[in-house]
Amino acid sequence: MTKFDALRQYFGHSEFRPAQEDLIDAVLSGRDVMGVMPTGAGKSICYQIPSMLLSGVTLVISPLISLMKDQVAQLKKAGIPAAFINSSLTAEQYREVLRRADDGRYKIIYVAPERLGTEAFNNFARQTKIALIAVDEAHCVSQWGQDFRPSYLGIAGFIETLPSRPVVGAFTATATAEVKSDVLRLLSLKNPLCITTGFDRPNLCFEVVRPKNKAACFLELIAKHSGECGIVYCATRKTVDTLHADLRGRGIAAARYHAGMDDIERRLNQEDFIQDRACIMIATNAFGMGIDKPDVRFVIHFNMPKSMESYYQEAGRAGRDGKPSDCTLMFSSDDIKIAEFLIRNSGRVEELTERERRIINRRDMERLDYMTRYCEIGSCLRSYILRYFGEVKKGKCGNCGNCKRENTWRRRRVR
């Protein structure tokens, strides 16, 4: 089987997207890679196709249980033998996965980074031929990243304990130059092929609105996109529940998704959205990882996210089919207070030292400041986003809310 055969058979595509083939070829030749590719660019294929062609098993290190479950479900549906190992498994289920893996039943195993330090998993890894280790959401290894996970710091040490070093790939959707440098160093990548695809997605129209009445403005935006598929992101579970109840009360087929719901309800609601039984998903940032729904025509942020990284990743779930789509952020001064509260009360810093906690808190506040400035500038929004990620775009894009308002104002002046 060739890489093209695998692409057609398992994913139904006839050609690769930009950068995919280069990264795949590097992995197949035994070279480490780092791919920084925006949401919707097809990062997963860069390690999933090699996993089918290499002799041995591929370990995918992933930070989110929901993401692992979604990815494994999609792989099984495509005919690729896959499994996941995380805290959602019972002890018996865990042993069964390891037993089947020993029998060579899987080509891909998703594993939480915390599992790498356990004796049972280490015994399995040392006895198994591991061809490739793919680190998903690789920015989590960096203290300068928006989602630092201390458990990611153990990945390089785990790799060193293996009888033979597999190929290592690092993949993320959003990373500044500082974070990319950190990822390369902390994962100890060897002579890696590093590819950062362009962050610009011309089909997305970015806009920031500052409504006096958010609830009324929200309903206007929903009416504007009547009959279209969209995602609404909220900062809190309470806001998700309120907006969901409001839309359902108006006869709109909306679903909801947040960590306060049980697994079964979340899964059913996600399936309703994917299968178009619900046209709108209202959710916290717990929703979206691994969701590849191509026809999302709009993404509305009812509240400002805590960082540009989070915003671009979430907004980027719109327009994956390349068709024009709207990304609207509803901003108010209260959003800043909510974001500051969420940063101060982030549960992920509990396992850190006091010094690390202060460093990360300061970085989070710096990212929040960049996000706030995005909401307040009057110049091209797309240029601001690209500059943040290290790209330079000359001139105005003509396809963001600020550029469109300026063009309208100029036409009125000419008249």
Q: Which pLDDT does position 351 carry in this prediction?
A: 63
Question: Across-strand partners of 296?
Answer: 229
pLDDT band at residue 415 under the 50/70/90 scheme? very low
Q: Which pLDDT does position 384 carry in this prediction?
A: 95
Tell me how crowded residue 206 is: count the other CB atoms within 10 A of its CB: 24
Q: Residue 116, SS3? A: helix
Query: Which range scores top for mean pLDDT: 62-66, 125-129, 407-411?
Result: 125-129
> Could you tell me how many residues make up the chain?
415
Q: Which pLDDT does position 414 carry in this prediction?
A: 40
CATH architecture of 204-376: 3-Layer(aba) Sandwich (3.40)
- The DSSP output letter for 302 is S
pLDDT top residue among 103 and 226: 226
Least confident of 140-149, 229-238, 338-347: 140-149
Q: Which pLDDT does position 111 carry in this prediction?
A: 94
CATH 3.40.50.300 boundaries in the chain: 3-196, 204-376
- Measured in degrees and rounded to the nearest 5, phi and psi for residue 110 equal -85, 135
Cα–Cα distance between 108 and 131 in angstroms, integer?
A: 10
Q: Has residue 281 got a pLDDT over 50?
A: yes
Sign of CA dihedral 368, 370, 371, 376: positive
The letter for the amino acid at 404 is K
Q: Has residue 290 got a pLDDT over 70?
A: no
- Measured in degrees and rounded to the nearest 5, phi and psi for residue 34 equal -135, 120
Average pLDDT for residues 306-335, to the nearest whole number? Answer: 94
Mean pLDDT taken over the chain: 90
Q: Please give the CATH superfamily to which domain 3-196 belongs.
A: P-loop containing nucleotide triphosphate hydrolases (3.40.50.300)
Q: Which pLDDT does position 408 carry in this prediction?
A: 66
Q: Has residue 363 got a pLDDT over 90?
A: no
pLDDT band at residue 361 under the 50/70/90 scheme? confident
Q: Which pLDDT does position 379 carry in this prediction?
A: 94
Q: What would you measure as the largest C-alpha separation in the chain, in angstroms?
A: 76
User: 132-146 pLDDT, tens per residue?
Assistant: 999 998 998 987 766
Cα–Cα distance between 36 and 180 in angstroms, integer?
A: 8
Q: Which pLDDT does position 315 carry in this prediction?
A: 95
Q: Which pLDDT does position 224 carry in this prediction?
A: 96
Q: Which pLDDT does position 380 carry in this prediction?
A: 95
Question: Which class for 232: exposed (0-12), middle (13-18), buried (19 or more C-beta within 10 A)?
Answer: buried
Query: Can you give the C-alpha Rg of the chain in angstroms?
Result: 22
Cite the DSSP H helix spans in 128-193.
155-160, 177-186
Q: Has residue 269 got a pLDDT over 50?
A: yes
Average pLDDT for residues 207-217, to the nearest whole number? Answer: 96
Q: Which two tokens stand for residue 378?
A: 């009057």
